[in-house]
Structure 1
Amino acid sequence: MEYIEISKKTVDDCITEACAQLMVTSDKLEYEIISSGSTGFLGLNVKPAVIRARVKAEESEVTVKTSLEEQVDSKVKEKIEKKESKKNSDQKKSEVNIENPVASSEEKADKKISYVYDHEFINRAKEFLSNVFASMNMKVEVNAKYNETDKILEIELSGDEMGVLIGKRGQTLDSLQYLISLVVNRGSEDYIHVKVDTENYRERRKATLENLAKNIAYKVRKNRQPLSLEPMNPYERRIIHSALQNDKYVTTHSEGEEPFRRVVVTLKK
């Protein structure tokens, strides 16, 4: 099996991502460290860690057919990645300009959402997940519903080993969500959003980030110096922006390029 190259903030993050992409545990992963990365000085000259990884030879024949990437049509992947790229570009321009949460909740209250529990998208996702979990020797219950109103496929996973699926800061869960999106959107005229959750992780992570935002805001007020958070994905950065958008003393903005783009909290002038 050929090597794949992974670039992340740390070597541990690279290994976690490699395990997620190749669908194996770390003891079945063969990897070579290309660069250990560097945190730089005062946030300058930060260099990501890079590894080359593949499934160990004795495991490759078993896992090659269950590789997540091989189960997705490459043309569909390219199509979805273009849409995701455009969406991320739009997010960069409008991250700080978040909708009024009150108005948003009122709109949702007035909006009638139609859910279905038997749909082609649900069947595609369940078949894909069944193959994935079978290859991982995991027993996972999959519950799904399709929001026809907003074109959102919501998937809830449950079982005894959900920590494995969540991964570090939800990276494995995000990767799984992304790949399900590729499968579901194959041949679809409209873009179908996919949300995957387990053990209410998304809400718990949101609460954690909101508390983090408040703590950072307090430190910025106290020390009167800007603070930079760790790199986050667009969804998590929006949570930080939203949590502090009405703060009287601090403001937020994002700096850097993906995947190292981060939120910076500064004192209002």
Structure 2
Amino acid sequence: MLREVTGIRYVTPLREGGSVPGVVEADDLGTYVVKFTGAAQGRKALIAEVIAGELARRLDLRVPELVRFDFDPVIGLGEPDQEIQDLLKASGGLNLGMDFLPGSLGFDPLVFPVETAEASRIVWFDALIGNVDRSWRNPNMLVWHRDLWLIDHGASLIWHHNWRTARAASDKPYDASEHALSRFDPDPAAAAAELAPRVTDALLTEVTGLIPDEWLTDEPGFDTPDDVRRAYRELLLNRAADVHRRITLAPKQGERQPPPEWLRTWVEGKNAQ
């Protein structure tokens, strides 16, 4: 089970993402980015965060610690924004917290170099979980103590929003042509050789076992939370076997066309700052 903490002070909302997470202090003296069950994406975004984050951790990719976060909306009464108030009031009880990394910087592929091996592992992992939210427009990675950390996986596992078509959806190709790490020439086949054998039924059982039962109850088409967990395991196990063959990559550096003039001008201006 994930470690559980209780919120004691709502600090501020983070408005960059559509789910509007909040920075909240907890009773363990830690500070967390909390994603709320009352957000528009609902509990499935939190399920995706748990599965993706804890699977990544077991594959030796860096993800901030995830915790079960007990939240009482009363601690957010000082927040003046009515929309945020409505979100907090709808999110009493169990939510999901991610350890806040103080001093971290948003990843910029034009500034921070990444080794091909690490880029390969991350691209393969994103293909495995069907992560559509790691493009150069929105990398969802942080640089902390010079290391790359993965965040925000709520938009992954998109097929779980319609279980009737989940198998067909999960078999579709994965487009990594605009992935934030595409400029580092990732080799998904090499990453698959290293990581795919580690994605076993036992590992996925451990990971899906971390999802709280209350986020899995009343799922249409399933009788019990364990039935839903089994569906996640079967899809991910099947996908791990051959997803590397269905990844569309951007052309390698040496094969790419020169960047457009507007992009060269922007980069030169950024480097001059």
- TM surpasses 0.5: no
**Larger relative helix fraction:** 1
TM-score band w.r.t. shorter chain:
under 0.3
TM-score normalized by structure 2? 0.25
